[in-house]
């Protein structure tokens, strides 16, 4: 009988330990400050995007073509080319820059992705489905004064192999934004943001 009770106690202890282990492995979440700096490694993250957006928005708003204009110029965004080895959606950068400049009133924008939709809607209205007095007037769209474009680049370097407790990797990001006069083709403004980060990892990890 004693052996039976001992076995039962041991089984209960194993079950309890398993339950504690599973509870410790359960996933947890917490809210992060998207405006803060949170870097778990040396790859591109949301804090990098925020820094790039803040610097380039301020620089573009203060540039001569924008700051000296009597009325807010109109720009069209042609995107940021991703020249890094990472999969980075650079539209998040230009979207945030556009939104900040729209809020401040420093620039106005026409939507390049919406042009096809505008054409489709106009074609529909003039196909006889919409009353003539309610059709949009063709040829009344505003034209852009400037093109906004840019390039995101990165360089990654590792320390040479040798005996050490930690291995290190250095990653450098460079984001360049440009403003081109649509009429003359002249590059009237350009600025860049540079970010560098060091990742140090122990050779032996647990």
Task: Give 153's strand partners.
Answer: 83, 174
The per-residue b/e assignment along 42-55, b for 16 or more CB within 10 angstroms, e otherwise, is bbbeebbbbebbeb
Torsion of CA 126, 128, 132, 135, to 10 degrees: -40
What predicted TM-score, i.e. pTM, was given to this entire model?
0.71
Task: Give 201's strand partners.
Answer: 167
Tell me the two tokens of residue 188: 């009237």
**Complete domains list, the chain, with CATH:** 39-150+178-193 (3.40.50)
Does the pLDDT at position 41 exceed 60? no
Cα dihedral across residues 100, 104, 108, 110: positive or negative: positive
Banded model confidence at residue 40, pLDDT cuts 50, 70, 90: very low
DSSP assignment of 74-90 equals: EEEEEEEEEESSS---T
- Per-residue pLDDT tens digits for 144-185: 999 999 999 988 876 665 555 566 778 889 999 999 999 999
The dihedrals phi and psi of 22, each to the nearest 5 degrees, come to: -65, -35
- Per-residue pLDDT tens digits for 67-119: 999 999 999 999 999 999 889 899 999 999 999 999 999 999 999 989 889 99
Three-state DSSP class for residue 5: helix
DSSP secondary structure letter of residue 131:
-
Strands 146-158 and 166-181: antiparallel
CA distance 14 to 84: 50
Torsion of CA 102, 90, 32, 100, to 10 degrees: -10
Residue 33: closest CA among 47, 43, 45:
47
């Amino acid at each position: 009988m004693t052996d039976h009770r001992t076995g039962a106690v041991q089984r209960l202890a194993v079950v309890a330990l398993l339950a504690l282990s599973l509870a410790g492995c359960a996933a947890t979440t917490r809210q992060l400050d998207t405006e803060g700096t949170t870097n778990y490694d040396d790859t591109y993250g949301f804090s990098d995007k925020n820094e790039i957006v803040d610097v380039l928005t301020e620089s573009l708003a203060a540039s001569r073509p924008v700051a000296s204009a009597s009325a807010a110029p109109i720009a069209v965004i042609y995107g940021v080319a991703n020249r890094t080895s990472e999969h980075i959606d650079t539209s998040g950068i230009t979207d945030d820059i556009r939104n900040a400049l729209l809020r401040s009133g420093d620039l106005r924008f026409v939507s390049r992705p919406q042009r096809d939709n505008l054409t489709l809607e106009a074609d529909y209205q003039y196909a006889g489905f919409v009353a003539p007095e309610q059709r949009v007037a063709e040829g009344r769209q505003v034209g852009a004064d400037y093109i906004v474009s840019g390039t995101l680049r990165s360089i990654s370097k590792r320390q040479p192999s040798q005996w050490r407790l930690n291995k290190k990797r250095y990653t450098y990001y460079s984001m360049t934004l440009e403003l081109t006069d649509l009429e003359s083709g002249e590059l009237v403004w350009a600025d860049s943001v540079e970010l560098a980060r060091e990742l140090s990892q122990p050779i032996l990890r647990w």
